[in-house]
Chain A
Amino acid sequence: MFVSPLREPLIQGHKTYKQISDDICAPVEAAPSKAWMIAVTLSGLLALTGFTMIGITITYGIGMWGLNKTVGWAWDITNFVWWIGIGHAGTLISAILLLFRQKWRTGVNRSAEAMTIFAVICAGLFPIIHMGRVWLAFFIFPYPNTRGPVWVNFNSPLLWDVFAISTYFTVSLVFWYTGLIPDLALVRDRTTSAFKKRMYNIFSFGWKGTAKNWQRFESISLVLAGLSTPLVLSVHTIVSFDFATSVIPGWHTTIFPPYFVAGAIFSGFAMVLTLMLVVRKVFNLQEYITLAHIESMNKVIILTGSIVGVAYITELFTAWYSGNQYEQYAFLNRSTGPYWWSYWGMMTCNVVSPQLFWIKKLRRSIIFTFFMSIFINVGMWFERFVIIVTSTHRDFIPSSWTMYYPTIVEIFIYLGTIGFFMTLFLIFAKVAPVIAVAEVKSILKTSGDQYTGPDAIHTQDEHHKH
């Protein structure tokens, strides 16, 4: 077993396997705390408000929103793209970092994957309610029908999106659950309550952990990671096609796919940080989600944030260089038109702020990272708003130029999805281990602080003896 003397330890406190099980299962086994009850009630109420507003939208129609003839897509699609983007970090951590053999992923992958699934659920709500007549939502699938049969349009990016999002959700769920099975079995074997034992027995599918089980586990994890890696890139690429294949100035740009993918990972990591900084504190898991983990994630944020920044500037340059006055006006209008505040909000949050992470002190500061993570998510929401609303509100005919303002219904649907997301995450954190226990144990011998770093008590030679 090779232990790098340079790498920072990822598990602190000289943990044994037993202690790892105890520490990570503790929040699941303890009775719900008062803080958890309050948090889940508040987010549940917010979710309920959101669903009421969705109910109002379905009852009275899309007229309840601030959309008009000129601006046909606004908060709904902004929120859709925002949520989908957030989901991408989970897959990046669990799949791409697995292929790159990044050991720090084991501390955060479980929660990040859960976050992906919940974010995709929230995202999926928006296109569906935007259809207006949601009871006809099944029209988006190709099924034999009595209307010809007229099938869906296989050349349309909107249909590609249907396939991309539903595949993404299914594959993320499968990947997440594969990893969850052994950890649920751990909770099953530890619990003393008969009811809990029965429940965890159902959900752990009767896992035993034999050598053959684990061999197959490793095989499926690797293949799913290999499949999810191009999948996650394809999903946001296809989302960007919704815009890029249109003929709207500001939308039909070939830079969109890489720009969207980088932005998605950027915002996703911000959301992972927001959640993990709270989780590690509340559940007392600082020894498993260490400053080394936080710093690694902040480095990904510098990289993806810089790609996003370069994309924004490239877009501006190309608009000017194209010589096309409509394209030029679209960008002039973004930065100096009536929605200038959203453009500059986006620029500040996404381009300027991640550069501060070049300073080592800041990227290792928990308070600073927390505020930055919120900042970035606000910025990424603005980005989608800028792309969607400012590109459409002044269209080809000046007589139809108009403004878009959200209604209270739209605002609460958005806030409601945040509440729904938080509710799902809080429930998950209470019933399943928030850290992949088995995977953390598998890196103990290489990344535990008794084996590597300044506090190591085992030497390299000891390892080679075995």
Chain B
Amino acid sequence: MANKKIIYGLYDDEVVLIDAVKKVRAEGLKIHDCYTPFPVHGLDDAMGLRMTRLHSAGFIFGATGTTTALSFILWITTSNYPINYGGKPYLSLPAWIPITFELTVLFASVGMFLTYLYLNRLAPGVKPEIVDERTTSHLFAMTFEIDDHTSSEKKDEIRKVLTASGAVEVHEKEL
């Protein structure tokens, strides 16, 4: 696998980073990604990222939970092995609400969590490509993908834009 090469700038404040992202995009450069130590509100808008559809997945999983619970209990109590509890109707929907609710929440949460892990490529033991170890602590990184064919003029341009927009450090790295 060809090694990925990046140029990245490190910022020490999220407000500077958001301004920098806007500035860099206005210059027509393509940002590869941003790494931040905490969720920075407005960064996804500045980068032009699409809103995640993760919550829609949550809804689908939840609806699956509701259907599973209701159809399973319905099948058991009215068809598979109906039991007469003190003359009460076999189909006693109100009594099934608690379990239906719990399964809805269970399916939605667990399903959404697994989707979240899958989309973010998170799993025990995954070795992440760490741009800079300080980006989980106090620095904010903006990265640009480059390869062996990237001209040195292009590299210089990226470096210049990064420094001009307030980056405290600029580095080149092979991942």
A residues at B contact (CB < 8 Å): 16-18, 20-21, 142, 148-151, 153-155, 157, 159-160, 163-164, 166-167, 170-171, 174-175, 178, 181-182, 185-186, 188-190, 201-203, 205-220, 222-224, 227-228, 230-231, 234, 238, 241, 437-439, 441-442, 445, 466
Contacts and interface: CB of A to CB of B under 8 A. Distances in A.
A328 B39 CA distance: 57
B35 interface: yes
Interface of B: 12, 15, 19, 33-40, 43-44, 47, 49, 51-52, 54-55, 58, 62, 72-73, 76-77, 80-81, 83, 85, 88, 92, 95-96, 98-99, 101-103, 105-106, 108-110, 112-113, 116-117, 119-131, 133-138
B33 A186 contact: no
B102 A164 contact: yes
12 contacts: A142-B76, A151-B77, A154-B99, A155-B88, A160-B102, A185-B136, A207-B128, A211-B33, A216-B52, A219-B52, A228-B109, A442-B39
Given A160-B99, A189-B130, A214 B138 contact: no
A16 B37 CA distance: 13
The residue in B85, B103, B117 that gathers the most chain A C-beta atoms within 10 A of its C-beta is: B117
Contacts of A238: 98
Given A154-B95, A160-B98, A163-B102, A207 B122 contact: yes
Contacts of B133: 189-190
Given A208-B129, A234-B102, 15 more contacts: A17-B137, A149-B80, A157-B98, A163-B99, A171-B110, A206-B125, A206-B126, A208-B128, A208-B130, A211-B43, A223-B55, A227-B58, A439-B38, A441-B37, A442-B38
B77 A220 contact: no
Contacts of A217: 39, 116
B136 A154 contact: no
B98 A163 contact: yes
A182 B116 CA distance: 13
B52 to A, nearest CB: 5
Contact of A209 (B37, B113, B119, B127): B37
B109 A211 contact: no
A208 B131 CA distance: 9
A22 B135 CA distance: 14
Contact of A182 (B47, B85, B126, B136): B136
Contacts of B80: 149, 151
Contact of A206 (B39, B44, B112, B121): B121
Nearest to A160: B98
Nearest to B43: A211
B83 to A, nearest CB: 8
Contacts of A182: 37-38, 136
Contacts of A170: 106, 109-110
Contacts of B39: 214-215, 217-218, 438, 442
Nearest to B98: A160
A154 B77 contact: yes
A154 B109 contact: no
A207 B116 CA distance: 12
Contacts of A148: 81
B19 to A, nearest CB: 7
Contacts of A210: 33-35
A153 B96 CA distance: 10
A248 B64 CA distance: 38
A149 B81 CA distance: 7
B120 A163 contact: no
Contacts of B134: 189
